Amino acid sequence: MLIAIEGHALELQTWGDKSAMLQFVHGSDGGGLILGDDSEQELEFYSASVHFNYAAQTETSQETPITSWVIGLISEGHGVKPQLIALPDRTLVFGLNHEVIGIGLESRKIVFRHRFDTLFHALFYLSRYSTLIVRNEIGIVALDEIGQELWRYEKDVVTNCIIDESHLELHFMDTPPVVLDLKTGRVIDGVSEH
C-alpha cells in the first residue's frame, strides 16, 4: 500500500531481521537514514520508502535523477509500534523508542530530534494550532512545525488522553487527572499544578 503526500508516495514495510532491512535501505538509489541505531535492544525492523514524483512532479521537487530513498527504523519492541505523521511542510515525523525525529521529505535530512527519559507512545497533529503533540509515557510535549518545544507537561504514567476543541485532558495511573490549554499547556481551572 502507498500513502500519497502531494505528488510523492510513501511505502511502509516490516522486516524479519536487521540485515534484510539494512540491505534494502542501502540499496535505494537515493540512499537512506537509519533511526533507532542506538537502541538498547533491537527487536523489530521497519522501513519507509519515499518515492519522489510518484503521482506528479510538484513545484518544490527539484529535478533529480533520484527516484526514491529509504528510512530504516530499529525498534526496541516495548509494545508500542513506531509511528509516522506527515506535517504540512512535508516533514516526516517518526516516533519510536525514546524519541521523535523530524526528517525533510525532499531534503533527506534530520530537521529536529527530541529524546525523552521515558518511552514514546503517540503522535498527533493539531492543524488549528499548527502544533504537533507528542505523548510519552509520563506526559505531553507540544512542538511547533519546525520541532521547537512550545510547552511540556509531565507528571505520572498516562493512562488516557482526551482532546477537545481547546483543551486536552490527561488521566494518570496514580495522580488525579488534569485539563490543559492546548495553546499554552497551562492547567485549566486550577485542577493541578503545572
Asked whether the predicted pLDDT for residue 60 surpasses 70, the reply is no
What is the helix (H) or strand (E) element at residue 26, kind and residue range?
Answer: helix 18-26
Classify residue 127: in a domain, yes or no. no
What distance lies between CA 126 and its chain's CA centroid?
Answer: 14
* Number of domains into which the chain is organized: 2
Instruction: Write down the mean pLDDT value for the chain.
Output: 90
> With the C-alpha atoms ordered 52, 53, 55, 60, is the resulting torsion angle positive or negative?
positive
Report if residue 121 sits inside a domain: no
pLDDT of residue 48: 95
Considering the domain architecture, whether residues 22 and 70 belong to the same structural domain is answered as yes
Do 73 and 148 sit in the same domain of this protein?
Answer: no
Q: What is the pLDDT at residue 55?
A: 74
Flag whether 75 is in a domain.
yes
Higher pLDDT, 113 or 6: 113
Specify if 122 maps to a domain: no
Whether residue 9 is contained in a domain is answered as yes
User: pLDDT digit string (tens) for 120-167?
Assistant: 999 999 999 999 999 999 999 999 999 999 999 999 999 999 999 899
Higher pLDDT, 73 or 80: 73
Residues 158 and 75 in one domain: no
The predicted structure's pLDDT at residue 52: 84
> Does 104 lie in the same domain as 185?
no
**What sign does the dihedral 39-42-46-52 (CA atoms) show?**
positive
The answer to the question of residue 52 being in a domain is: yes
pLDDT at 58: 60
Are 103 and 160 in the same domain?
no
Q: Can you give the C-alpha Rg of the chain in angstroms?
A: 18
143 and 51 housed in the same domain: no
Q: Which cell numbers hold the place of 28?
A: 535505494
**Per-residue pLDDT at 63:** 60
Q: Answer yes or no: do 111 and 139 share one domain.
A: no
* Domain assignment of residue 170, yes or no: yes
pLDDT at 116 over 90: yes
Helices (H) and strands (E) counted in the chain, each on its own, are: 1, 16
Same-domain pairing of 108 and 137: no
Q: Tell me what pLDDT residue 110 has.
A: 96
Percent above pLDDT 90 for the chain: 72
pLDDT on residue 61: 54
Q: When comparing pLDDT for 138 and 191, which is higher?
A: 138
Q: Residues 20, 87: one domain? A: yes
pTM, rounded to two decimals = 0.88
Q: What is the residue range of 157's domain?
A: 132-194
Q: Is residue 123 part of a domain?
A: no
Q: How many residues does the chain have?
A: 194
**Together in a domain, 32 and 73:** yes
Q: How far is CA 3 from CA 16, 86, 92, in A?
A: 22, 10, 12
Return the CATH number at 154.
2.40.10.480
Q: Which of 140, 122, 141, 143 is nearest to 177 (CA)?
A: 140
Distance from C-alpha of 88 to C-alpha of 160, rounded to nearest angstrom:
27
